Structures are given as structure tokens and as C-alpha cells.
Chains A and B, each alone.
Chain A
Amino acid sequence: MPEVRLVGVSKRFGEVVAVDHVDLEIGDGEYFSLLGPSGCGKTTTLRIIAGLVQPDEGEVYIDGRLVNDVPPEDRNVGFVFQHFEIFPFMTVFDNVAYPLRLVGTPEPEIEERVWKVLDMVELRYAADRYPRDLSAPELQKCGIARALVKGSKLLLLDEPLGALDPEVKKKFREMLRGLVKEHGLTAVHVTHDQEEAMAISDRIAIMRRGRIIQVGSPMELYLRPKTIFVANFMGETNFLEAIVVSSSEEGSELRLRGGIPVKVEASYPEIGTRVILAVREEALKTSKEPFDANSIEGRAVSSAFLGRFFRHRVELVNGEFIKVREPSASSRPYRRGERVYVYFPPSKILLYPYPPDLMDELSLT
């Protein structure tokens, strides 16, 4: 039985449709993320699961039980906020104990439960400290402990890493995923950061404008993005306009702008139609000499050294600009204007029908 199920859930705020007919199933024990740009409806969806927002339409099930009319405090969910929402005038212990005291839990039981969740997030040492003496990660651990103290197995996290420094995030997300997996919890995590979602999730739902565009494992979304928007949102992708010249079981031949031929493995039966060719920046390879006919000539615009990678920007002979990311161990910086060939691996190229509004598909909102 799925832990969380949404059926046809919609929510309007005035004229704005924040959540538009969302169907979703999140399995027991799953680490699930809602990923999308600001304003896509991911936080509203999370708040609907929590019971903090009432949907206009649709049903919300938790553990098989219809909870539309169940108030938040009776849904047995723990909610974690981006900005911690910790009371500044209480110690860590008292902050974590707060939800229990609110419902009149006996003190001995409070003691036992608070210490247990403080151990789960490794914050026992800070029990007597006040929030002003805590670092950002410690504050968020306190928020997570408080969310878990009533024994909730379902953790709802709204941008839980949003207020942390980038370097701290990596360790924190590892801790968070470990916590959920080790204690058999289910997590629904809202974020706009695709790298964070990929690293932490079993599955991800990509949302845009109130709708779910695609659901899948990080790898599925990465390898088989259903739309141009998803391909663009999940990392840096190059998009080029092309015409299909021929196509068979073995693959297709395309022409880019300027008549440049490119072979791809995907078949695309509609000969003569305009398509969008998508290829990830890390799938391309640069070289001084062409590999084969799928190497396209260009001139280097810039090479940024990113530590593990170089990111090269190249202007192809047809005037289109593309970016290529290569491991620094097997690459080098190019001088501006230096001639360089960019190899398009046929197996890594995705094709999409030319959309009615390309600029809109490519916008990141």
C-alpha cells in the first residue's frame, strides 16, 4: 500500500492555478523529491499532504486512509521548514519537546522521546543550548528532531537545505538520506536544486506550472527526459535546431543549421521535419582533430576551470554556441579563437519534435 497517494489534486489561489490535477504515488520507505522552479506548485503540493492547505479538488491518502478532512496534527506527519522555525527563547531540548507538551504528554515519556530523536540526528550534545549558539546545520537538525518527536514515519521537508552553505549541503543531505533509510521513514522533499534532488532521492517528480511533467529515478530523468523542459532543467543541455534527412532502424541523419550533417542512433520516421536535438554538455567531447564525421568544427570562446571539470564554450561553424563539460584529467583549456572539433556521440543525442513555442519550452520557469 502506498504511503502517500494524491488523486486529481488541484488548488487555486485567486486566478492562479497553483496545483493542477496532480496524481502521485509515493511508496512506503521511499525518499521522494518534488523538483521544479519557483512557483511550480511543489510547496503547495507538500502543504496539501501536510494538511496545511486544503485542496479545491481531489483526494489525499496517507497509509491508505483518506485524510482530506483530517487536521494536520492528526495526520501523523512531521514537517521541516527551510528557515528552521525554531523558538529562539527555548533550548534545543524544549524546542524538540514542544509538540509533545502541546498535547500534554507525560514528562517521563517526553524525556524518553526527545532523547531518542536527538540521538537520531546526533544532537544530544546540544540539548541545553539556545538557538543563537547553534550553527545552521544544527538548527536544521533541531527542526528535524522536532518533526520526528511524535513518532511520525512520514517526513515532509520544504527546502530543508535551502539555508545551508553549499559546502555544508553535501554532508547534510547524506545525513538526511541516511536517517530516513536507517529508520524506515518515508520522505517527501521539496527543492529547486536538481543536483540536490538527484543525490538524495529514490524518485523525483518534476513539476512545472502546477503540473507533474515526469516522475522517475534520477537516472531515468537524466537519460530519458520526456520533454525539452525536463532535459533543460536536469543539468546543462545544448539544444540545436535540425532537420531529419533520413531515418531507419539503425538511426537517423540530420542536418543542423548551415547544412552540417549529424548522425544519431535514435530513429525518427518523420523525414523532412524540423526537430530539436538535445545533447548534454558532459556527453560532448572536444579534440584538436576530428574523430569522424560527427565531429563539428568550431572556435573556442572560453574555457572555465571548475576543478574536476573544464567547461568549454565553443562557437560552431554555423554560428551556434554550445557548451562542453569534460573531466579536467582528460581536457585542457583552449585559447579564445582556437580551432576545436566537438564530437557528438550518436548514442547520447535525444530528439524532440519542434515545439509550438520553443522559447517557452526553454524557459526555466
Chain B
Amino acid sequence: MRCVSMPEVKVVNLWKSFGRRAVLKGVNLEVEDGEYFVIVGPTGSGKTTLLMILAGILKPDRGEIYFDGELVNDVPPEDRRVGLVLEKFALFPHYTVMENLLYGPVVRGEDLGRALNVAKEMLRMVLLEDRPDAMPTELSGGMKQRVALARALTAGARLLLLDEPLGALDARIRTSLRYDLVSMVKDMGLTAIHVTNSIEEAMEIADRMAVMRDGVIEQVGTPMEVYENPANIFVADFMSELNVFNAEVVSTGDGWTELRTEEGFTLRCSKGPLEKGMKVLAAVRAEDVDLEHGLGHGVNAVPSRVVDVEFILGFYRYVLDVDGRTLVAEEFSDRRVFKQGDEVTAKFRQDKILLFKQGRGVRVE
């Protein structure tokens, strides 16, 4: 019997290079049973390589992979009981939906009657029970994606590995399908590891997420943990649009610190005491900048001019100029309050100012 608390997937100190390029540099990861886990990062961060190693398609140079406590480094892909869903669906175009589902079991010489029953059940789960005879070309992108999911499940997978499974779909279909995808996976009680370059997608669907960069996992946590307490400036910048200032601590006390930025702005944040004279990066998210009419200035307030206004689905995004330096602010409203050329005061919310150390950008505790 398997131990309840044992993680479904455990990766220990994983390394992988292609030629001289190190793609994974000591990755550690634990994914719990039944979890919907998302690995998110920019192109080239190593997330797909990690997924392919979990699937057994690539071999690591170093490190261990455990499924259910069992070392699987030498277990071939077809014996790992994982289902792989790829961006391009990879359906056989000249086979029907049902033939696509049965391909794996037939090739492996499994009992066809049993496989057929499982395949029917899976089609029902992905709401395609009435389309077993359709050819892939007759299906929409969303349907193809569901067939790919059903095919992965027909093979009896307990662990789903999804590589940009929504990436080939239109933006709008993508947002409407991701919730359905996760609900389906959760209803089936599966564990899933989903790779994406979209932080928005990651946040909406993840129980927990890992932010990757340059072959390293920078942070793991629930979307809220990672957003509110980013480990470093890279994670913060990846999660939201930041205004970043080079600043120095001028005075500090219990629960407060006053900073002077290189532009000469005075910032006050709710952290402290810190070391006086310390050089930091101070960051304010665009949504934590409030705008007021008129050129006021003072602590956490900067006089600026509106250079550009964008309206995006329920909020305004203002690009501001302060003597040649750009700031970004977002206001949640469907009424435009400020227009191009307006003189405004950008006010930073004191409790929302994030501080990072210069250099590697680690968060100031």
C-alpha cells in the first residue's frame, strides 16, 4: 500500500545539458498526489526539458526521479503510466477519434475489448462521446485538445504531463477552456504537471506553481504566496508589471524605512529597521500606483504626465513620464479619468512597496 503523505512526483538535483548549454541546473521538485501543479517561465527556461525528463523521453545527466516513492530513472516511458499532452495535439490525422484513442493500447498488445470500454468512458468525460468516428480535421481546436487529453487517459495514466496544452488555441478560446481542463482533471482525481509561459494561465489554474528561469526553479508556492511574497525581483517582474527604482535607505525605524531614489524621489515603505545607506531596488506594481489630478509631490508621490492610455477589459493602463523616466499605472474602471497630456500625481501605496537587494535581486526580509 502506498503511503498517503508520499509525494506523487519527486525530483532530486536534476541536471541536463545539450552540448555545452546547461538547461537544467540542479532542479528539486515535489508534487503531491492529486495536485494540479504548474511550471511557468519564459521561453528557454528549461520547463519543457524538465517535463520530457519526467515523461522518460529525455534522460537526465544527473539526479533522481521518483514516482510514488519508486525510482523511475531507468523505467521506459511506456511503463511510467504518464499521459503526455502536447501543444500541437499530435493526433494522427488519418485516424478517427476512436482510432487515435486506441492506438496506444493496440500497439502495446493490450486487451482490445477492455481498451474500447476505457476509451468510451474517457470520451464521455471529455464531452465527446458522440464524436468517436470524427476525423481530427472536422474538430475545432478545443475538441482536438480534449481528444488528446482522452488519449492520454485511455493509456491508464495517473499522472498527466501537459506541455502548453492550450498554446495552439486562439487567445479567447484558451481563457475559456483552461477552467474546463482543470475541472476535468480534478474530477478524475488525477495529478497533473502543466507547463506554460503564461503567468496569467498559471495563476488561474495552479494549486501550486514553480517559477523557472535559466534552468533553475526560483520559487514554489500557491499563486497567492508567490505573488504576494516574491522571492526575488525576477519572480516579481514576471508576475506583474513593475516600476523599479534604484534607491538608498536614508532613514529607518521599526516598521518603516525612507528611501531616496536615484531620480530624487522619496519613498516610504512599511519595512524596517534596515541598514542605513543600504542600496536596494524598490519596486511598485502598476496596480499599486494611484493617480490624482495635478502636479503634487512628496513622500510616495511623483509629479508626472500621461503619455499613453490603453483600455484593456475593465481597467485602464496609463503610461506616465517623469522627466524622461517611464512609470506605469493601472486603474480599475471603465471610465477614463485621465487623458494623454494630463498632469497627474502618481502615488505609491506604502504597504505595497517591495524591496530587493542590488545584484542578485533577492527580496529584503
Contacts and interface: CB of A to CB of B under 8 A. Distances in A.
Interface of A: 37-38, 136, 165-168, 170, 174, 177-178, 192-196, 198-200, 218-219, 222-223, 233-236, 280, 282-283, 304-308, 311, 313, 325, 327, 329, 333, 364-365
B313 A282 contact: yes
A195 B171 contact: yes
Given A165-B43, A170-B241, A305 B203 contact: yes
Interface residues of B, number: 41
A325 B314 CA distance: 9
Nearest to A325: B314
B163 interface: no
Contact of B311 (A170, A192, A196, A222): A222
B43 A364 contact: no
B238 A222 contact: no
Interface stretch (B16-24, B71-79, B192-200): B192-200
Contacts, number: 102
Interface string B255-289: 00000000000000000000000000000010100
A37 B357 CA distance: 45
B319 interface: yes
6 contacts: A136-B43, A199-B317, A200-B310, A235-B314, A307-B199, A333-B224
Nearest to A236: B175
B117 interface: no
B133 interface: no
B319 A174 contact: yes
Contacts of B198: 166
- Taking each of B176, B313, B336, which has the highest tally of chain A beta carbons within 10 Å of its own beta carbon? B313
A205 B43 CA distance: 31
A261 B203 CA distance: 35
A170 B176 CA distance: 21
**Shortest 5 CB-CB contacts between residues of A and residues of B:** A282-B314, A193-B171, A192-B170, A235-B313, A199-B310
Nearest to A308: B287
B229 interface: no
B312 A198 contact: yes
Given A165-B42, A307-B239, A308-B240, A192 B171 contact: yes
Interface of B: 42-43, 140-141, 170-173, 175-176, 179, 197-200, 203-205, 222-224, 227, 238-241, 285, 287, 308, 310-315, 317, 319, 330, 332, 334, 336
- Taking each of A166, A196, A280, which has the highest tally of chain B beta carbons within 10 Å of its own beta carbon? A166
B239 A306 contact: no
Contacts of B43: 136, 165
A189 B141 CA distance: 23
A95 B314 CA distance: 41
Contact of B314 (A38, A166, A233, A280): A280
Given A174-B308, A305-B203, A364 B314 contact: no
Nearest to A36: B170
B313 A306 contact: no
A311 B175 CA distance: 12
A306 B317 contact: no
A32 to B, nearest CB: 16
Given A37-B170, A193-B171, A236-B175, A306 B204 contact: yes
B197 to A, nearest CB: 5
B186 to A, nearest CB: 10
Contacts of A136: 43
A172 to B, nearest CB: 14
A177 B334 CA distance: 22
A304 B203 CA distance: 7
Given A165-B43, A166-B199, A308-B240, A37 B172 contact: yes
B339 to A, nearest CB: 12
A201 to B, nearest CB: 10
Contacts of B238: 167
A203 to B, nearest CB: 13
